[in-house]
């Protein structure tokens, strides 16, 4: 059976650290102008987007090209999954053409079903349950900034969504403390909790002595109809100058997986002050995706 990357739990602690180290190497080599086109020469990555994308599309497509392979975008309106053809049959056919497939979708069960029928690696580009590729970029950014994960505390402010689910799993593997502040009824799923995670409804409690303050949009893709109500519920769960000054460490950084809604989950001032770190985080999607592609497609 092929290895898949559907969840952070698909990698061990050792594999997670190796992926981050390899991403750092690939990033340094790219900056130094070293040719990487031999690494996955001739390999083909299929990409299915059931949700729109900017960073996921660019990082995977640019990444596979830099490694010497190429990407094929499979438009859902053309392949018509479970309408014109079953997902099982599509998975089997893709396995005869491709070396791996990345899917950005709604339900985690979509990824799991594809993986059951495919004989090639399946990568979770995002689902409503987890966003493991984003977490790799987050971790690389933290490690680059602080040098290690020792003694790091992450505060996550906002919705208990897919982004924080994967982050919680990674923190449990790497012994990183994470404190999540969210409104009542918007907590992360209990299955993602560990001894390293704390759930609270107070932003000050979560952000107290934090090294990293992380936030995400209040309404994710698929929640647009609920956006106005969520704006009311999430008032007060904002990363801003006062939160950073009153609670986080003076050396704390802000992370945001983007896109950002200025004036909602983060102020324009806070976003711009930490712009370089947030853009490094976005760039690191490229380097960590390349590490994942190499890990899955060369094994």
Query: Annotated catalytic sites, by residue?
Result: 104, 131, 134, 216, 257, 285
- CA distances to 78, 87, 113, 120, 263 from 82, rounded to whole Å, are 12, 6, 12, 20, 40
CB atoms closer than 10 angstroms to residue 13: 12
| Angstrom distance (rounded) from CA 113 to CA 115 | 5
Cα angle: 95, vertex 288, 251; to 5 degrees? 155
Angle among Cα 9, 64, 56 to the nearest 5 degrees reads: 60
The number of beta carbons lying within 10 Å of the beta carbon of residue 209 is: 12
Dist. CA 283–CA 287, nearest whole Å: 7
Cβ atoms of 69 and 42 within 8 Å: the answer is yes
């Amino acid at each position: 059976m092929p290895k898949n990357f559907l969840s952070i739990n698909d990698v061990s602690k050792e594999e997670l650290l190796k992926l981050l180290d390899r991403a750092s190497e690939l990033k340094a080599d790219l900056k130094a102008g070293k040719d990487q086109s031999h690494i996955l020469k001739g390999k083909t990555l299929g990409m299915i987007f059931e949700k729109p994308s900017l960073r996921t599309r660019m990082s995977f497509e640019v990444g596979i090209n830099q490694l010497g392979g190429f990407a094929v975008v499979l438009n859902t309106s053309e392949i018509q999954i479970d309408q014109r053809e079953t997902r099982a049959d599509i998975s089997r056919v893709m396995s005869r053409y491709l070396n791996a497939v990345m899917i950005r979708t709604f339900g985690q069960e979509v990824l799991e079903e594809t993986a059951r029928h495919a004989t090639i690696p399946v990568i979770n580009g995002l689902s409503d349950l987890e966003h493991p590729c984003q977490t790799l970029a987050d971790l690389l950014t933290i490690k680059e900034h602080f040098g290690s994960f020792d003694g790091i505390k992450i505060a996550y402010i906002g919705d208990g969504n897919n982004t924080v689910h994967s982050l919680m799993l990674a923190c449990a593997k790497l012994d990183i403390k994470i404190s999540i502040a969210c409104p009542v009824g918007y907590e992360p799923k209990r299955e993602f909790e560990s001894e390293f995670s704390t759930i609270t409804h107070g932003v000050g409690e979560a952000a107290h002595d934090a090294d990293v303050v992380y936030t995400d949009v209040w309404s994710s893709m698929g929640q647009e109809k609920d956006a106005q109500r969520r704006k009311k519920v999430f008032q007060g769960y904002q990363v801003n100058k006062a939160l950073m000054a009153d609670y986080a460490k003076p050396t704390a950084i802000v992370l945001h997986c983007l896109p950002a809604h200025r004036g909602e989950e983060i102020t324009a001032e806070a976003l711009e002050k930490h712009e370089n770190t947030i853009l490094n985080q976005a760039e690191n999607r490229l380097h960590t995706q390349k590490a994942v592609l190499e890990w899955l497609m060369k094994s």
